[in-house]
Copies of this chain bind each other. A is one copy, B any other.
Amino acid sequence: MKNSLKICSICLLATSIIAAAQVEPLVIQEQGSFAAGGTVITAPGQFDAKKPLDPAGQTYHGDHAAVLYQIPPHAHKYPIVMLHGAGQFSRTWESTPDGREGFQNLFLRRGFATYLVDQPRRGSAGRSTVESTLTPKPDEQLWFNQFRLGVWPTFFKGVQFAQDKEALNQYFRQMTPNTGPFDVNVISDALSAVVDKSGPAILFTHSQGGGPGWYTAMKNSKVKAIVAFEPGSGFVFPENELPPAMPSAFDTLKGEPVALDKFMALTKIPILIFYGDNIPDKPSAMPAQDSWRVRLAMARQWRDVVNKHGGDVQVIHLPEIGIKGNTHFPFSDLNNVQIADQVSQFLQQKHLQ
């Protein structure tokens, strides 16, 4: 019975993917792109048009976010602003590595305007105000493990990732480097400017984007809810409620102290956090697995502190509700329609659509 249900749900999933890909065109009332936020550097001196390569008196606009937006007809009240994680860019939310529709298309089809962000100093928003040297250091087996596809070169049994060579090729090529130092304030300032342009919005964040997401909500009350996929760092706590640092076989995870009055903004909005599968309960000698053990643990502590102050945070560890095999990218995993359904249920419950 359990197996036939599984097969049935796989069939339904397959059918809905084929239906989406072949049948229904997307209808877009408006689409485009813009830069939001950022700063301007001006070199001292006087610009001379006859010495164009001399920076004297010239300006440099940098540290903005770059945004791709699409608005369907009769869109829901709140658009969804989507922020990628470490080493990633807007592609996170676009096509999946195996070529299916990502959350951009899925939520457009569900009637939401989407705003896909490249954070300052990443991808399309590459113009950093701080110098940086980019070195092509081979690191993809680290990511294969860290993103929990498996333990290189072996995929986890039942992992929600297409195990063909081209999917992995696309997956590795959906990375793009920082063009300047990661700076949570620079990013959250720019993201705040994005929601000023989009209007009051729901924020989806991924991984390293989790921190900038919390900071943006503390800066701008136009953030009306957050759905965070596997936040990996930047958990903010009131200064006197910092949890102990959490060592793992990968690194030591620390909470980040903020003033209580700022922190309280996070108690005013519904927040849903997802973690996927293959995260151990107990300490592991494998750095990749162990790093997620402490991150899930800190997310739960964070939930408890925010809720203690009157907040509305839920942490869904997907295997606990019977959804198995998810990697660090639940929104592009093979079962991403099922994950989108979980998100939609939350948005409905919270009257956000």
Contact = CB atoms under 8 A, between A and B. Distances in A.
A177 B127 contact: yes
Given A21-B30, A123-B126, A179-B126, A41 B138 contact: yes
Interface string A54-97: 01011111101010100011000000000000000111001100
B30 A27 contact: no
Contacts of A34: 95, 99, 170
Interface stretch (A285-293, A306-314, A323-331): A285-293
A130 to B, nearest CB: 7
A55 B127 contact: no
B140 A58 contact: yes
Given A35-B173, A95-B33, A126-B123, A49 B137 contact: no
Interface residues of A, number: 84
A152 B47 contact: yes
Interface stretch (A5-13, A141-149, A206-214, A259-267): A141-149
A129 interface: yes
B136 A133 contact: no
A287 B57 CA distance: 17
B176 A124 contact: yes
Nearest to A36: B173
A141 B288 contact: no
A49 B21 CA distance: 37
Interface in A281-302: 285-288
Interface in A172-202: 172-177, 179-180
Contacts of A94: 32-33, 68
A147 to B, nearest CB: 12
Interface in A134-175: 134-142, 145-146, 151-152, 169-170, 172-175
Given A27-B25, A127-B136, A287 B52 contact: yes
A277 interface: no
Nearest to A20: B30
Interface string A22-59: 00011111111111001001110001011011010111
A26 to B, nearest CB: 4
A43 to B, nearest CB: 4
A94 B28 CA distance: 14
Given A27-B28, A49-B287, A52-B145, 17 more contacts: A26-B28, A28-B28, A32-B102, A35-B169, A35-B170, A49-B141, A50-B249, A53-B142, A58-B141, A61-B175, A62-B136, A64-B173, A125-B176, A127-B176, A130-B136, A132-B133, A133-B134
